Amino acid sequence: MAQMHLPKRVKIVEVGPRDGLQNEKETIAADVKVELVDRLTLAGFPNIEAASFVSPKWVPQMATSAEVMQRIQRKPGVVYSALVPNMKGFEAALAARVDEVVIFGAASEAFSQKNINCSIAQSIDRFADVARATKEHGLRLRAAVSCAFGCPYQGEVPLAAVVDVVGRLRELGCDEIDIADTIGVATPNQAHQVMDRVAREFPIAGLSGHFHDTYGQALANIYASLECGITIFHASVAGLGGCPYAKGATGNVATEDVLYLMQGLGIETGIDLDQVVDAGQFISAALGRRAISRAGNAIAAKRAS
């Protein structure tokens, strides 16, 4: 049974097909991406970040996003999301029938420049157009706040900067806001502090924790966020990933590890861990490497013994 102070159910957003694959150097065939998304759909995720309609010059791996979105087998009720930096990306996302548009800003000026080639203020102006169009078409709108816990270029990021961006994104009408540890530097007290503070700016039911695991703190940060009442977490199957504009940062926390944690805490996710382990082994084999997920590898080893 879930402990009294923790939520009884959480939403896990699988970001592997986007955040997990975007940084891969070798081109991954669309077939592989489609099979990955389909496996994740069957595993029971309510929300899969499947694509990214950004400039292919900036992130070549995501250039097949339209094809992937067209070929996946959608399950009714599952939300398929895609990153959208500007109106050009929005038009492509709309044509690809995404369910949720994800605008992505930062709490750090330096990272905003490196990642999307504009200041935070300019990004909010661009996002305003995207937000308006998203709402006009009746789609869900989510926003990511990168570098909410630290920046690869400027180092510390003041909490006030995070609060400021969250407020501006709230005004754009976001349904959900992701508080992202892009470079995986946060530790649990900081996670507590940031989540508690942003929960005063935006309804807590719509806040998510997007933790990369660079320093091995992601599960601890998720636990701290659960204690704050956060009920949405992002994770990447097999621990794939890294941001092309955050050197050295590793992937998101591995989905298998998060699901194992939730199972142990008695927190429902509606997702079949065994099928996620299979999906993790599938994509790792396709990439020619061992999965990073501790729980995934342990479960796979136990099966083989």
Output the smallest distance, CB 222 to ligand HMG, in A: 14
Report the residue count for the chain.
305
Query: Of 245, 278, 291, 292, which one interacts with ligand HMG (CB under 6 A)?
Result: 245
Query: Of 182, 221, 269, 293, which one interacts with ligand HMG (CB under 6 A)?
Result: 182
**Is 180 among the residues that bind ligand HMG (CB under 6 A)?**
yes
Residue with tokens 């996670």: 191
Q: Which residues from 246-305 bind ligand HMG, rule CB under 6 A?
A: none
Output the smallest distance, CB 14 to Mg ion, in A: 13
Residue 254 CA: distances (Å) to CA of 81, 122, 241: 19, 33, 10
* Alpha carbons within 13 A on the beta-carbon side of 117: 6
Interacting stretch for ligand HMG, rule CB under 6 A, among 153-161, 164-172, 215-223, 243-251? 243-251
245 touches, from ligand HMG, Mg ion, none (C-beta below 5 to 8 Å by class): ligand HMG
Q: Which amino acid is at 210?
A: H
Catalytic residue from among 147, 151, 228, 243: 243
Query: Of 19, 100, 176, 278, which one interacts with Mg ion (CB under 5 A)?
Result: 19
Interacting stretch for ligand HMG, rule CB under 6 A, among 149-157, 220-228, 238-246, 258-266? 238-246
Residue 303: CB atoms within 10 A of its CB come to 11
Q: E strand or H helix at 36, and its extent?
A: helix 30-43
Q: What CA–CA distance (Å, rounded) separates 237 from 40? A: 9
**Is 127 among the residues that bind ligand HMG (CB under 6 A)?**
no
**Is 190 among the residues that bind ligand HMG (CB under 6 A)?**
no
Distance, first Cα to last Cα, the chain: 30
Residue with tokens 């940060």: 221
Interacting stretch for ligand HMG, rule CB under 6 A, among 36-44, 78-86, 151-159, 267-275? 78-86
Output DSSP code: residue 212.
Answer: B
Closest among 170, 291, 154, 193 to 235, alpha carbons compared: 291
Token pair for 208: 């998510």
Contacts of 273 (CB under 8 A, 6+ apart): 256, 259, 260, 263, 295, 299
147 has catalytic annotation:
no
Binding track, positions 36-65, relative to ligand HMG; x by CB under 6 A: ----------------xxxx-xxx------
Size of the site for ligand HMG (CB under 6 A): 27
**For helices 109-116 and 120-136, angle between their N-to-C axes, nearest 10 degrees:** 60
Q: What CA–CA distance (Å, rounded) separates 277 from 272? A: 9
Residue with tokens 């998203």: 134
The CA R_g of the chain, rounded to the nearest whole Å, is 18
Q: What CA–CA distance (Å, rounded) separates 73 from 48? A: 12
Output DSSP code: residue 19.
Answer: I
**Is 184 among the residues that bind ligand HMG (CB under 6 A)?**
no
Output the smallest distance, CB 146 to ligand HMG, in A: 3
**Is 144 among the residues that bind ligand HMG (CB under 6 A)?**
yes
**Is 117 among the residues that bind ligand HMG (CB under 6 A)?**
yes
42 vs 118 by CB, closer to ligand HMG: 118
Output the smallest distance, CB 204 to ligand HMG, in A: 19
Catalytic residue numbers read 243
Site residues, ligand HMG (CB under 6 A): 19, 22, 52-55, 57-59, 83, 85-86, 88-89, 104, 115-117, 144, 146, 180, 182, 210, 212, 243-245
Site residues, Mg ion (CB under 5 A): 19
